[in-house]
């Protein structure tokens, strides 16, 4: 099976986003599509409103009528998603028989990040003892040596010099560059 996994925007009947996610997840299970269809996400963000002096937090859909699906585009995965109850089609399809274009990586990353679900991709290998420069966050423009790598949490501990001594700081993979 060839192909890489990408995020696709899928159009649903309005108000059917949760139903589509449940239906699609059930179909992935029953049709053994776990190697082609990975995650179904409803783009939403937390919205806090104050009514009668009471603070209320609820999830608000940022793109009503759409779900994002991470999949490897094959005839089977395309068919399974398209024929899920509540789905009206893929966004970016040119014609009836043509496969859709995936979201651009930066589009998917932007949407996921706004939901607090940062897509974790590490484009380089780092090792303990390696020197790196911190390019983002509170320790930006500091350089240091990696003392610990926590791959599961996508965090690194970097020893940076502060006040004349080495201090361990925790940063994420996308906050560093190799020196």
Do 96 and 153 sit in the same domain of this protein?
A: no
3-state SS record for 107-174: HHHHHHHHCCCCCCCCCCCCCCCCEEEECCCCCCCCEEEEEEEECCCCEEEEEEEECCEEEEEEEEHH
Q: Is residue 36 a part of any domain in this protein?
A: yes
The model scores a pTM over 0.75:
no
Domain that holds residue 142: 130-178
Residue by residue, pLDDT tens for the chain (179 residues) are: 457 899 999 999 989 999 999 999 999 999 999 999 999 999 888 788 888 888 888 888 888 899 999 999 999 999 999 999 999 999 887 666 678 999 988 888 888 877 776 555 555 678 899 999 999 888 899 999 999 888 766 788 999 998 889 999 998 887 888 88
121 in any annotated domain: no
CATH number at residue 149: 2.30.30.30
Same domain, 101 and 153: no
| Number of domain units in the chain | 2
Nearest to 35 by CA among 65, 72, 80, 7: 72
Termini Cα distance of the chain: 37
In a domain, 123, yes or no: no
**Inside any domain, residue 87:** yes
Q: Residue 30: inside a domain, yes or no? A: yes
């Amino acid at each position: 099976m060839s192909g890489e996994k990408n995020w696709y925007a899928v159009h649903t009947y309005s108000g059917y986003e949760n139903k589509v996610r449940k239906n699609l997840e059930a179909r992935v299970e029953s049709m053994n599509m776990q190697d082609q269809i990975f995650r179904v996400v409803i783009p939403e963000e937390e919205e806090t409103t104050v009514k009668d002096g009471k603070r209320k937090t609820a999830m608000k859909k940022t793109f009503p009528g759409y779900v994002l699906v991470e999949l490897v585009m094959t005839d089977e995965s395309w068919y399974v998603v398209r024929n899920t109850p509540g789905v009206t089609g893929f966004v970016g399809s040119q014609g009836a028989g043509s496969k859709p274009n995936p979201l651009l990586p930066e589009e998917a990353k932007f949407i996921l990040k706004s939901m607090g679900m940062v897509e974790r991709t590490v484009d380089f290998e780092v090792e303990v003892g390696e020197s790196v420069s911190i390019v983002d966050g509170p320790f930006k423009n500091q350089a240091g040596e990696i003392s610990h790598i926590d791959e599961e949490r996508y965090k690194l501990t970097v020893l940076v010099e502060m006040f004349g001594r080495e201090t361990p700081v925790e940063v994420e993979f996308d906050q560093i560059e190799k020196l």
